[in-house]
Amino acid sequence: MSKTSGLGRGLGAILEEVEEAYKQNSGSSEFVKEIKLEEIIVNPFQPRKQFDPESIAELSESIKRHGLLQPVVVIRSNDKFMLIAGERRLRATRLAGIESIKAIVADIDKDRIRELALIENIQRENLNSIELAISLKELIEEHDLTHEELSDIVKKSRSFITNTLRLLQLEDYVKDKLMENKITHGHAKVLVGLDKEEQKKITDSIIGQKLSVRETEELVSKLKEPLKEKKSKKVSEARKLELGKLIATLNNAYGIKTKKTSSSITIQFENQEQIEELLKSLKNS
């Protein structure tokens, strides 16, 4: 069986079926219940971690005035109910000081909830960049997928997946600013590969000076230029050292004279025996 069989159908498609059944059975107490908030546990596999406080407050006021128009969706989890859709509504209801909430009790396999939630949020672009990267990583590890296979499942390009996963290499400080929307996905991509202090310094510059992605790229490019020169200098010095060792070996071990200029080395053999001795030594080395 293919590793990707059974994957790809997001939670949204299944919830549509649940909502349709709700419309047809809205009067059934077995399908819709008034559940105390203390009996509901949030989905521990929910990829989305950030919720806008202002948006929750606005929804809370609306619920106070008009009631909850759309039930949340839960599944049974031992002696509790696990929330699988409607965390904003649940948070807003709790903020409104209401002790219970109308909920659709769905019949969905608990073991698939995490996978369904991940795929749904990825496909709907409902996550910030770091949450998305974590979700992609979890799907890859749990199902042993290649980037190409995951690309087919979540309907994103392979390069998008690869570049998003690279964000997990960033320092926590930068990740936090990205999750807080202080910097953008484009800014963050530019910072991958820099050392810890450089990442923090440039992140602060982006925020403090309101740098665009292009301006950030230029800043990072200038920062890397001295590093390239330093690396080139190190390589050049290493080559000079190796060259010096070679000349010393030819002179001392084989008695072969050499003449060095800035761009070449001339080896001066006194006779055929020296040539044959050197060739024999190279062959045996």
Q: Which residues are catalytic?
A: 87
Task: Tell me, rounded to whole angstroms, the distance of Cα 44 from its chain centroid.
Answer: 19
Backbone angles phi, psi at 274, to 5 degrees: -65, -40
Give the CA angle between residues 148, 9, 121 to the nearest 5°: 80
Q: Any alpha helices (H) in the chain, and if so which ranges?
A: 11-24, 53-66, 87-95, 113-123, 129-143, 147-154, 158-166, 172-179, 185-191, 196-209, 213-254, 272-284
Taking each helix axis as running N to C, give the angle between helix 113-123 and helix 147-154, from 0 to 180 degrees, rounded to the nearest 10.
Answer: 80
| DSSP helix/strand/coil, 194 | coil
| DSSP helix/strand/coil, 127 | coil
Q: Is 43 left (phi over 0), alpha (psi -120 to 50) or beta?
A: beta
Per-residue H/E/C for 52-86: CHHHHHHHHHHHHHHCCCCCEEEEEECCEEEEEEC
Give the CA angle between residues 231, 233, 238 to the nearest 5°: 95
Q: Nearest-CA neighbor of 102 among 115, 89, 111, 113?
A: 89
